[in-house]
A and B are shown apart, each in its own frame.
Chain A
Amino acid sequence: MSTTTATHHDDHGDHGHPTGIMRWVASTNHKDIGTLYLWFSFFMFLFAGAMALGIRAELFQPGLQFLEPEQFNRLTTLHGLIMIFGAIMPAFVGFANWMVPMMIGAPDMAFPRLNNMSFWLLIPAALLLIGSIFVPGGAIAGGWTMYPPLSIQQGMAMDMTIFAIHILGISSIVGSINIITTILNLRAPGMGLMKMPLFIWTWLITAFLLIASMPILAGAITMMLTDRHFGTSFFDAAGGGDPVLFQHVFWFFGHPEVYIMILPAFGIVSTIIPAFARKPLFGYASMVYATSAIALLSFVVWAHHMFTTGMPVAGQLFFMYSTMLISIPTGVKVFNWIATMWRGSMTFETPMLFSIAFVFLFTLGGFSGLVLAILPVDIQLQDTYYVVAHFHYVLFSGAAMSIMAGVYYWLPKWTGHMYDETLGKWHFWLTTIAFNITFFPMHFTGLAGMPRRVPDYALQFAEFNMISSLGAFALGISQLLFLYVVIKCIRGGEKAAANPWEGAEGLEWTVPSPAPFHTFETPPTVK
């Protein structure tokens, strides 16, 4: 093995590059690894999306039709885990891989081999998670948050899930160290921190959040493992522990995790809106400060996920106030995006459409977040469909739609072809409309009192659930169109210029489309 490595030392540069399966398995090229990440996440997105359709099929009508309650719980659990760790996070890492070196004028990531390891660790984690469906007892059914003591009751699948998350944690930490090092150490001469594209800033802060929070999750699930098998009593009151301790540790990871999934989305949208408004981003500096403020606040708000656990009043007040504060930097961002559009010269290609939908729908999710931050109201809404609506507005129309925006925006750079604009717009409208049909009614069912994670419900929730289910199937099918557009673009289409967008700025548009295998081997100078 080491000889292979040694002989390839001088392979890069103008000597061509490995081909066939080797190119992907043993890759040390940030673009190839980025591609692997993006395809992996897309596959997982469809897989976990299919699970969501199973959930919605069961909820189409009251009563039990297709699933037993325990199977239903397995679906909701795996849907959450796979969407978060398998779809959203790897997609953003894929963007970081492709775009960070090109945007800062670096030849590659700081540690190309570790970069490849970060990707290949996703595979055993996915095998463990998906494989857990087939072990005795079936996949875990305790929710993606894995609260004990329910998780202590789960079978072998729980251990496999714990190890899968450990491996994902290693992947994330190694990947983040790589990204943070690349950004801090490999910027082209002249690119000061305050000259970095905003996408780079958001990823810098995201990488920091990942390094700070993933080890905390590792600690939480390690305690879970020893409680399950080695007789410790961290989460068992009889031994002096507390089940709620897990929730504290989990959400100390979990809230930064929420921003890990949204900050890169801010970065993508902040790149796209100026390009199609043909106008510089409004308030660059305040965007940087707002992103940093959101990241820091994310470490002091975690217990707002636990308002119903019965904290003392001082704790409740502290976490309510700190949570409300988050709306200030987030509001600044929304205002900045709209000020960027203001008096621009806008066109509405697919990436711009997705970005505008992001601003609009993510802000709706922000409003429901503000409602949930008000503790007395949260008491009514905690663990209802209102929460489900809220986090799908921030995670689907927030994170996932920004990913779609980014894919359309950079596809010409990645493939060298323009995507089919008509089909792209179809995909946009179908997705946006179906998304709202699916998730908007959940605000109503939640307010009216439908708990989440139930396979069956009382009759007054029937109408809205039926609407949601119809929307969900439309939403699911629309994503196959996305797959088709992407494949079509890879296989051919109108040749893309180095900069196919009139208003796009940044180093990535100074290299040809498709971007050559190696870019910026000699760093460019930024004025």
Chain B
Amino acid sequence: MSQNTKNYYLPGASFWPLIASIALFLMAAGFSMSLNDMAIGTSILIAGGVVFAYLLFGWFADVVKESVSGFYNKQVDASFRWSMGWFIFSEVMFFASFFGALFYIRNVSLDWIEAGKVWPDFVAVWPTAGPAATEALVGMGPWGLPAINTVILLISGATLTYAHWGLMKDNRKQTIIGLLLTIALGVIFLYLQVHEYAEAAFTMAGSGIYGSTFYLLTGFHGLHVTMGTIMLAVILFRIMKGHFDSHNHFGFEAVAWYWHFVDVVWLLLFIFVYWL
């Protein structure tokens, strides 16, 4: 059976799903407790995180093992492609909820607060910390760090494509150089983003709706860049192990798709959060 790639590969019994459910339960229960001032909560949360990390390593190790053993035929490969595409679509919708909130607040509801006169002096301008704020708010302009970060992410998209070309030609050196550059650019982006947060004249908790939308949108994006960078590092590691060749490298492509998706989200952030 193991050598037979004619049929669609079906894995045998696995405990990973159960472990996933235990990990998420511990994390959710622990986080709920720590948010409500129960001291034990943080420990449970961390324990859940450890189980979750173990799960990721173990499950992906299984998948990698199956992949390099040649269990996956063309049809399995197509399944992976479909599913990655739909997964990215679900991520698009997640960001859409926050962009939708931003558009609604800026274009619709702020005007209603002004017109409602519950706060008689409030004028709807953007950025704002809301009618109850006592000081004017200075937002984050686009033409400093954000512009530099935009350039960094755009270049990283190009270096990733350069790595992909290397892989298509079975040129390992080019692939590794391209990936290393991409990872480095990702890390620089994250560093600059943290720097920007530290320098910002406003906060998430104290700056009303501007701070709320700014930090949740850029924060979730930053989280995705972090995940993307880690995933690129794993792919680099697998390339060095020789897991991919010019015909068989879906793992690489999946991460590349993800990286480009994160790029596009940033462009939208740059336009709608920083610029306009």
17 example contacts (A-B, Cβ-Cβ < 8 A) are as follows: A1-B16, A8-B14, A9-B1, A12-B10, A113-B17, A117-B16, A117-B21, A124-B28, A156-B33, A159-B36, A227-B212, A234-B209, A236-B130, A239-B133, A239-B212, A249-B97, A522-B7
* Complex-state Cα separation, A187 to B128, whole angstroms: 54
A458 neighbours in B (Cβ, 8 Å): none
B8 neighbours in A (Cβ, 8 Å): 106-108, 186
Name which residue of chain A comes closest to B7, CB basis. Answer: A521
Min CB–CB distance B209 → chain A (angstroms): 3
Judged by a CB distance under 8 angstroms, whether A205 is at the interface is no
* Complex-state Cα separation, A160 to B8, whole angstroms: 40
Judged by a CB distance under 8 angstroms, whether A173 is at the interface is yes
In chain B, positions 59-115 with a C-beta closer than 8 Å to chain A are: 59, 61-62, 65-66, 71, 75, 78-79, 82-83, 86-87, 89-91, 93-94, 96-98, 100-101, 104-105, 109-110, 112-113
* Complex-state Cα separation, A170 to B52, whole angstroms: 14
Binds A, one of B143-151, B176-184, B200-208, B260-268: B200-208
B61 neighbours in A (Cβ, 8 Å): 2
Name which residue of chain A comes closest to B9, CB basis. Answer: A9
Judged by a CB distance under 8 angstroms, whether A134 is at the interface is no
Q: Is the beta-carbon distance between B132 and A239 smaller than 8 angstroms?
A: yes
Q: Mark A140-182, 1 if CB is under 8 A from B, else 0.
A: 0000000000000001100110011011001001001110110
* Complex-state Cα separation, A241 to B130, whole angstroms: 7
Given the known interface contacts A4-B13, A124-B21, A240-B105, the answer about A185 and B112 at a Cβ–Cβ threshold of 8 Å is: no
Given the known interface contacts A229-B35, A234-B209, the answer about A216 and B21 at a Cβ–Cβ threshold of 8 Å is: no
With beta carbons under 8 angstroms apart, the residue of A10, A12, A127, A233 that contacts B209 is A233
Residues on A close to B: CB < 8 A? Answer: 1-2, 4-13, 18, 22-23, 25-28, 106-108, 110-114, 116-117, 119-121, 123-124, 127-128, 131, 155-156, 159-160, 163-164, 166-167, 170, 173, 176-178, 180-181, 184-186, 211-216, 218-220, 222-223, 226-234, 236-242, 244-245, 248-249, 252, 521-522
Beyond contacts A124-B24, A249-B97: 17 other A-B pairs, Cβ-Cβ < 8 A, are A1-B19, A5-B14, A11-B13, A12-B1, A113-B14, A113-B17, A117-B20, A124-B21, A156-B32, A213-B93, A216-B97, A234-B212, A237-B113, A237-B130, A240-B110, A241-B209, A242-B105
Q: Is the beta-carbon distance between A10 and B93 smaller than 8 angstroms?
A: no
A7 neighbours in B (Cβ, 8 Å): 12
Q: Is the beta-carbon distance between A216 and B13 smaller than 8 angstroms?
A: no
Assign chain B's interface to a size class: 35 or more
B104 neighbours in A (Cβ, 8 Å): 242, 245, 248
Judged by a CB distance under 8 angstroms, whether B227 is at the interface is no
B133 neighbours in A (Cβ, 8 Å): 239-240
A167 neighbours in B (Cβ, 8 Å): 24-25, 28
Q: Is the beta-carbon distance between B13 and A10 smaller than 8 angstroms?
A: no
Name which residue of chain B comes closest to A172, CB basis. Answer: B90
Q: Is the beta-carbon distance between B216 and A13 smaller than 8 angstroms?
A: no
Q: Is the beta-carbon distance between A218 and B97 smaller than 8 angstroms?
A: yes
* Complex-state Cα separation, A527 to B110, whole angstroms: 60
With beta carbons under 8 angstroms apart, the residue of B28, B91, B131 that contacts A215 is B91
* Complex-state Cα separation, A331 to B33, whole angstroms: 49
* Complex-state Cα separation, A5 to B205, whole angstroms: 46
Q: Is the beta-carbon distance between B75 and A107 smaller than 8 angstroms?
A: no
* Complex-state Cα separation, A7 to B14, whole angstroms: 10
In chain B, positions 18-39 with a C-beta closer than 8 Å to chain A are: 18-22, 24-25, 28-29, 31-33, 35-36
Given the known interface contacts A13-B1, A238-B131, the answer about A230 and B83 at a Cβ–Cβ threshold of 8 Å is: no
* Complex-state Cα separation, A238 to B235, whole angstroms: 47
Q: Is the beta-carbon distance between A230 and B205 smaller than 8 angstroms?
A: yes
* Chain A interface, DSSP helix/strand/loop, else mixed: helix
With beta carbons under 8 angstroms apart, the residue of A25, A163, A241, A522 that contacts B212 is A241
B12 neighbours in A (Cβ, 8 Å): 5, 7-12, 18, 28
* Complex-state Cα separation, A127 to B216, whole angstroms: 29
Residues on B close to A: CB < 8 A? Answer: 1-2, 7-8, 10-22, 24-25, 28-29, 31-33, 35-36, 58-59, 61-62, 65-66, 71, 75, 78-79, 82-83, 86-87, 89-91, 93-94, 96-98, 100-101, 104-105, 109-110, 112-113, 118, 128-133, 203-206, 208-213, 215-216
* Complex-state Cα separation, A481 to B59, whole angstroms: 43
B94 neighbours in A (Cβ, 8 Å): 215-216, 218-219
B118 neighbours in A (Cβ, 8 Å): 237
Given the known interface contacts A28-B11, A163-B31, A240-B128, the answer about A223 and B20 at a Cβ–Cβ threshold of 8 Å is: no
Min CB–CB distance B176 → chain A (angstroms): 28
Q: Is the beta-carbon distance between B109 and A244 smaller than 8 angstroms?
A: yes
Name which residue of chain B comes closest to A122, CB basis. Answer: B21
Q: Is the beta-carbon distance between B105 and A245 smaller than 8 angstroms?
A: yes
Min CB–CB distance B34 → chain A (angstroms): 10
Q: Is the beta-carbon distance between B10 and A233 smaller than 8 angstroms?
A: no
B21 neighbours in A (Cβ, 8 Å): 117, 120-121, 123-124
With beta carbons under 8 angstroms apart, the residue of A5, A178, A241 that contacts B11 is A5
Name which residue of chain A comes closest to B100, CB basis. Answer: A249
A117 neighbours in B (Cβ, 8 Å): 16-17, 20-21
Name which residue of chain B comes closest to A234, CB basis. Answer: B212
Min CB–CB distance B74 → chain A (angstroms): 10
A28 neighbours in B (Cβ, 8 Å): 10-14
